[in-house]
Structure 1
Amino acid sequence: MGDFDYDHLGVCYWNGTMKPLVVGIIGTGPGLRALLDIIYDEAFREFLPDIHLAAVSDIPKETDTSRFTDINVPVYDSFERMLDRHPDINLIVEMTGRPGMLARLRQRTHEDISILDHREVVFFCGLHDMALVKKHYMDSLAQQRSLLQSILDGIREDIFLLDKQGMVVDINRIVWERAGVPRKELLGRPCWHAARLRDGSQFCSQLDPVCPFHKTLASGQKEETLVTRVNSEGLLQYYRLYAYPILGARGEMTHVMVMHRDITKRTLQEKHQNQRDRLAIVGEMSTYLAHEIRNPLFAIGGFANALVRSPSLTESDREKAKILVEETRRLDVMLTSMLNFVRASELKIHEMDILAVSRSAAELMTIGYGSQGYSIEVRGSGPLPAVLGDEDTLKQCIANVIKNSIEAMPGGGVVHLDIELAGDSVALHVRDSGTGMDKNGLERAFNPFHSTKEGGYGLGLAMIKKKIEELGGRVEIASRLGEGTTVTLFLPAALDVGSPL
């Protein structure tokens, strides 16, 4: 007992050491079909040595022997003649069940020939049927697995199956394709090695503490959170992360499925809608301010100016009156900015040369800033179509964007204006190498009342965006803290619709 090798208990795979089996079948029976399947079906080759059916004998006269003819197996009227003609037979399967047949076989054959009688064949039938059932379930499982994998691979969200340590157990196709490595190279590695943004840049450098993976581990429930990322081009991205517990057969949590959903487009649309709603309120407030506040404000400003000029005031009181004048003027500037922002622009839309307008705006800004260490370079890529817009409005917008870029580079620098065709729009990229913005700055860049400038009201980029959208275009901003900012104006290209027939 002590010498028994339990490591190989139950291991019955064919190891290639047995000589091929040359089989002779005597008679027919209910197990014949199963026996032929075992001999000829390739599914059994993994478990058995090579088997060759040499001949068949003692077939009842009424039995159709065409099945043997079709496979080139000779049929004999007696097993004696079969053994005489095929001395290489080393396995006899006796299926007649006749009394004394087994004894006659043992007298006729030598000890190198193995014999199976009809009772032992029953076990082969059972094993054969179990093999067929196993094959059916394996095929069904493979189909279900293939179907599930196809469904997962067809989902555009990133899906990660993680163990409880955050290691990758499985991923769908879009994850490993975006990572640029074969799927098998990511299995067993920490999930942040596989997670990517839409442009292929790294999603995170470690298991992010805000990832709902941690909450699901603790709660055993579905969890979710919203995160923001800045991609390799400096564009702000919004992602909704979901985590789902995967339970084992006993109801215990064995894995966590994490899904990344890019909701950038939807979030920006919602933000734009919210901004439009806020602007509608601002418009109503501005009308109220114009009628109810401006007249009293002018009166206050007038009295304050009169007090400043009054000879009867002490110097201390005069300084206070000057503060009152300055604050009144500041309120008037704010009110004017708000009115200008919400008031619809009167635009004269026509075709124009965007390259010429950009160069004109650059020359204008160079006059004021060229001597202070700033230069502006304008470059067009390839043939550019005319754009539709109002030349004065567009020139003002470009000049304001250039001014923002210059103010972001207090030590001087170069502002690049690159123009290219982008689909059915012409894209004007205004790029600087200034201080840049972080994620919070990017989120609030187009807020009409947010500004990074001291004393400003934040209507710069918001106003530019409003005017460009009135021209039928759009504005995007990309930035990285300490690496500069790129503001892109997308303007509708003038279409050549041809002359009427």
Structure 2
Amino acid sequence: MTQHRGETPQTYCELDAGDREYVVGVVGTGPGFDTILKIVAGEEFREFLPPMRLAGVVDLAFDDPRRAGALLAGVSAYPDTSALFAAHPDINLVVDLRGGGTARAMAAELPQGASLLDSTATFFLCALSNAVSAGAHCRRRLDHQKLLLETILDEVQEDIVLLSAAGLVEDLNRNILNRLGKSKDELVGRHCEVLRSGPDDPPLCDPNDVACPFRVSLATGKKAERLHTAVSADGRLRYYRTYTYPVAGLAGHIAHVAVFRRDITDRTLGEINARQAERIETMGRLSSYLAHELRNPMFAASGFARRLANMTELPEAARERATIVVEELTRMEAMLKQFLEFARPVGKVSSEADADANRAVGDAVLAVRPEAEGRGVGIAVALVSGVAAVAFDPALLKQCLINLLRNAVEAMPDGGLVTVTSGRDADRVRVRVADSGRRMSSENLENMFSPFYKAEHCEYGLGLAMVKKVVDDFGGAVEASGQPGGGCAITLHLPPALAGPAFADAAPVNPDAGHSPGDGS
């Protein structure tokens, strides 16, 4: 936080001295001598007084230690005023510190146009010195407090800006400058809209939005806040919380509004993941209960229906209806099996159960390709060879990838392209499945891993929820992001197997080869 652009230091008194320099002679070393030296020859008073130069001193003892001081450097000492005035006829100000009425007697020999200050008048100069010293002390304290406040505000990893009632930027912290890549002079005095880095960056103030915290604080004189969601340029969902605090002026009306904006993405995603995990756990218990309670009645009903469908003595119409019952019960049995798989706890794998991520991708692509081609969806695969083994059950990893591929295919009813890639990010193995379907909204990105979530153009069952549950149980992570041109990308971040070898011989899958990587075909 610094002085506003164009602001000039305040002055209390403007001396009508023009460019005149005062050439000063000091007579005597009585009380106030050190103070007069500081006023005339020191730097502390330069901003308060016109230019002054000490020409000479009278009655300064030869052994006076002050002769060696910086204030008297280059200044000559004289035995009397006559010698002083003769050496410096340009003296125009004389300070007499001898006292005892000597000033009146000296007035007659002053150089023409020179002024005289006696020992009584120098009292006011000493008072000025004390006032300036006190002011300097206060200034140092204020500078220290200002520096401390600037440091605190600049080190806070949040956006902090002070806006006028008209929405103009009065001041802002370094976090905003670093984010925008601009200097403070480029932003101060301009409308707050310049603080947005792009359309995916929520505004710090929007005077046209009645719910904007900036407008609310101006209207109510109270603190306001708001939660913003935005899909960043890389397709990831970001969460921001904006707080505004009104600042009253001297007249009592709201003159400024302090705006704080915090990126709460990590915290919010943690809360969302916790809620989703709780829903999945509840769904798992409910699924297990329903599956066990319905399985026996359904098996019995299915057996009777099959028997009826095979009884030749029944009319054809009755056997057809029994066949329909068998088909529906079979569909319900498959659904119950899915519920049981969802409810089944995933155990930790042993070192013998490590999976080859590239091979799992190849197997999943082979399983889904016929269905994808039937819907007019192509699958492109680009895998990095030699990716480390992952601490994951091979069959479960394949099933997770099948679920992701089928979800991507179903997201493109009019055809499209699914792209599968693999690689390594820091200490995790990355497998990414991306489709070219509809653009994802922030609501879709936030809820797509919730069981049976239904959006405007799509409906999610247990497939993605099952993927998240399994990957989380194995110590991995699942991330969803929108595609710049539309569609969704889901990335699995999988833990590598401890002390496990990389699958150096596993070649990337050729989507047109019709086999999985490394099978020797």
TM-score by length of 2: 0.81
Q: Map Cα deviations across residues 227-282 of structure 1 (whole Å, 9 max, x no partner).
A: 22211111112222222222334554332222222222222222222233333333
Name the residue aligned to 2:390: 387
CA distance in 2, matches of 1:14, 1:363: 94
Instruction: Spell out the pairing of 1:149-228 with structure 2 (5 A cutoff).
Output: 149-195=150-196, 202-204=201-203, 207=206, 209-228=210-229
Name the residue aligned to 2:337: 336
Q: Map Cα deviations across residues 79-104 of structure 1 (whole Å, 9 max, x no partner).
A: 112222333323211222232x3333
Q: Is the 8 A contact 1:428 1:489 kept in 2?
A: yes
Name the residue aligned to 1:136: 137
Higher relative contact order (CA 8 A, sep 6+): 2
Instruction: Spell out the pairing of 1:23-422 with structure 2 (5 A cutoff).
Output: 23-59=24-60, 65-70=64-69, 71-72=72-73, 73-99=75-101, 101-195=102-196, 202-204=201-203, 207=206, 209-249=210-250, 251-299=252-300, 331-345=332-346, 348-349=349-350, 350-370=353-373, 373-380=376-383, 384-422=387-425
The one-letter code matched in structure 1 to 2:136 is: K
Counterpart of 2:120 in 1: which secondary structure?
helix
Flag structure 2 segments of 5+ consecutive residues without an equivalent. Answer: 1-9, 502-521
CA distance in 2, matches of 1:209, 1:401: 42
Counterpart of 1:53 in 2: which secondary structure?
strand
CA distance in 2, matches of 1:83, 1:29: 20
Pairwise CA distance, 1:436: 2.7
Pairwise CA distance, 1:473: 0.9
Q: Is the 8 A contact 1:23 1:90 kept in 2?
A: yes
CA distance in 2, matches of 1:392, 1:209: 54
Q: Is the 8 A contact 1:378 1:417 kept in 2?
A: yes
Q: Is the 8 A contact 2:448 2:460 kept in 1?
A: no
Q: Is the 8 A contact 2:89 2:111 kept in 1?
A: no
Pairwise CA distance, 1:107: 1.6
Q: Is the 8 A contact 2:200 2:231 kept in 1?
A: no
Flag structure 1 segments of 5+ consecutive residues without an equivalent. Answer: 1-7
CA distance in 2, matches of 1:55, 1:268: 77
The one-letter code matched in structure 1 to 2:90 is: D
- The count of residues paired between Structure 1 and Structure 2 equals 484
Pairwise CA distance, 1:493: 1.9
Pairwise CA distance, 1:301: 5.5
- Pair 184,381 (structure 1): closer, same or farther in 2 beyond 3 Å: farther
Pairwise CA distance, 1:193: 2.4
Name the residue aligned to 1:426: 429
Counterpart of 2:260 in 1: which secondary structure?
strand
CA distance in 1, matches of 2:114, 2:407: 97
Q: Is the 8 A contact 2:195 2:203 kept in 1?
A: no
CA distance in 2, matches of 1:14, 1:393: 90
- Pair 284,497 (structure 1): closer, same or farther in 2 beyond 3 Å: closer
CA distance in 2, matches of 1:371, 1:312: 39
Q: Which moved more, 1:293-302 or 1:400-409?
A: 293-302
Q: Which moved more, 1:239-248 or 1:297-306?
A: 297-306
Q: Map Cα deviations across residues 408-442 of structure 1 (whole Å, 9 max, x no partner).
A: 23333332222221111011222222113201111
Q: Which moved more, 1:147-156 or 1:257-266?
A: 257-266
CA distance in 2, matches of 1:372, 1:289: 34
CA RMSD of aligned residues (A): 3.5
